[in-house]
């Protein structure tokens, strides 16, 4: 309960605000509170694997950066990625000013939702390519010696001798999507530009630790060559990486929230509840040493991220229900936990 205390407090505040907004907007207190709660649960289910991957980075950071992740980080996650960023996207797509887009979101949420959905192909390309690289960098990592799917992962890990292998694979996927995607040429061009931006951002974020020059020999020996290990060697680099990763996960949650309600205030409050619980879950996993206890948990989370990346890329053309996304992510996590328990029993018996 200690790790989730603030989450329950934020939940109570957000549900109270949702009830008040439902009263003044005419939606009704009960429906508003219910919708905010549903959105919170949806956000947690979509981002559970995000919490596990976050924990892999956060466990190597000191108490200061962990605290910053739960304070400043949550403000960025809630107000930056769940509220401000969608407004910026719509403003960029329509040419409207940010105040005009804000008024559009409050006064005409249906039109705001339409603009946001129109921008989804570029959003999906950007987030999908970034998440795909997170998955590939974990899978194609010569320093990784624990393999969930033994023979397959062992062979793929050897490709890590080529540092650029994940980027090359991701760019190949992007080129195939660009050439074979059955959409208009202008959308293809925007998707290509967004996808390349996602790749570039990943390269920049994964290189931050080299700029700060603050990694220790001990952390180098423990972490291997994956992006998770690399950025974790520096608190600021790790913090930036976690925020970018959260941003990539938030895209689908924001878009999918409009399938539940078009009231942007309820969406922000509901997603705030989910985002806070994901943060608390990350810290809980770190403090309980869950990643050490369940050795395949990070594998399951990364496979979930890989599935989300593919779903986002497919979603450029055909929308995939957020329910499917959440179920796949939870399924990978559950399978990895069961596999870890079987592994632990075999190790104890042997």
Question: DSSP label at 116?
Answer: H
Q: Rounded to an integer, what distance in angstroms lies between the CA atom of residue 106 and that of residue 86?
A: 13
Taking 70 as the threshold, does the pLDDT of residue 225 lie above it? no
Section 35-52 average pLDDT? 84
The secondary structure of 120-160 as a DSSP string is HHHHHHHHHHHHHHHHHHHHS-TT----SSHHHHHHHHHGG
pTM for the model stands at: 0.79
Q: Above 50 in pLDDT, residue 215? A: no
CB 188 within 8 A of CB 176: no
Q: Provide the percentage of residues in the chain whose pLDDT is more than 90.
A: 15
| Mean pLDDT across 153-177 | 86
pLDDT 10s digits, 81-96: 777 878 888 888 778 8
| pLDDT at residue number 23 | 92
| 192 in Cβ contact with 128 (< 8 Å) | no
Summarize pLDDT for 240-276 with one digit per residue, the tens.
888 888 777 777 677 777 777 878 888 888 988 988 8
pLDDT tier, 158 (very low <50, low <70, confident <90, very high otherwise): confident
Q: Which two tokens stand for residue 294?
A: 């369940």
CA distance to 50, 200, 213, 240, 243, per residue, from 63 (Å) = 20, 30, 20, 16, 17
| Tokens coding 259 | 């399938």
pLDDT, residue 221, reads 47
**In whole numbers, what is the pLDDT of the chain averaged over residues?**
82
pLDDT band at 73 (very low <50, low <70, confident <90, very high): confident
Closest to 256 measured CA to CA, from 42, 77, 104: 42
Mean pLDDT confidence for 305-323: 84
Query: How confident is the model at residue 29, as a pLDDT?
Result: 93
**Beta carbons within 10 angstroms of residue 19's beta carbon:** 18
Q: Provide the residue ranges of all domains of the chain, joining segments of one domain with +.
A: 5-349
- The per-residue pLDDT for range 102-143, each reduced to its tens digit, is 888 888 888 888 888 888 888 889 888 988 998 998 888 877
- Pair 137, 206: CB distance under 8 Å: yes
Position 224 confidence tier, pLDDT thresholds 50, 70, 90: very low
């Amino acid at each position: 309960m200690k790790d989730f205390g603030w989450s329950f407090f934020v939940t109570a505040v957000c549900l109270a605000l949702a009830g008040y907004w439902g009263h003044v907007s005419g939606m009704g207190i009960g429906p508003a509170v219910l919708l905010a709660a549903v959105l919170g649960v949806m956000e947690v289910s979509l981002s559970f694997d995000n919490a596990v991957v976050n924990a892999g980075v956060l466990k190597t950071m000191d108490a200061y950066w962990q605290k910053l992740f739960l304070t400043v980080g949550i403000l960025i996650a809630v107000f930056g990625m769940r509220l401000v960023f969608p407004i910026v996207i719509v403003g960029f797509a329509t040419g409207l000013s940010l105040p005009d887009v804000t008024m559009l979101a409050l006064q005409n949420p249906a039109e705001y939702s339409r603009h946001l959905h129109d921008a989804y192909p570029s959003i999906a390309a950007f987030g999908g390519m970034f998440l795909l690289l997170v998955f590939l960098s974990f899978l194609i990592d010569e320093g990784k010696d624990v393999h969930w799917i033994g023979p397959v992962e062992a062979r793929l890990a050897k490709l890590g001798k080529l540092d650029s292998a994940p980027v090359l694979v991701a760019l190949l996927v992007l080129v195939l999507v660009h050439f074979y995607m059955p959409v208009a040429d202008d959308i293809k061009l925007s998707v290509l530009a967004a996808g390349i931006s996602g790749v570039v951002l990943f390269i920049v974020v994964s290189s931050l630790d080299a700029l700060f020059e603050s990694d220790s020999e001990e952390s180098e020996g423990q972490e291997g060559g994956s992006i998770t290990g690399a950025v974790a060697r520096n608190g600021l680099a790790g913090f930036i990486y976690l925020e970018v990763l959260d941003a990539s996960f938030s895209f689908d949650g924001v878009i999918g929230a409009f399938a539940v309600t078009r009231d942007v205030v309820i969406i922000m409050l509901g997603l705030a509840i989910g985002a806070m619980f994901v943060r608390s879950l990350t810290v809980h996993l770190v403090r309980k040493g869950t990643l050490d206890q369940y050795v395949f948990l990070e594998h399951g989370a990364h496979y979930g991220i890989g599935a989300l990346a593919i779903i986002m890329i497919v979603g450029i053309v055909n929308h995939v229900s957020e329910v499917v996304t959440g179920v796949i992510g939870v399924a990978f996590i559950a399978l990895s936990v069961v596999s870890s328990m079987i592994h632990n029993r075999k190790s104890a018996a042997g």
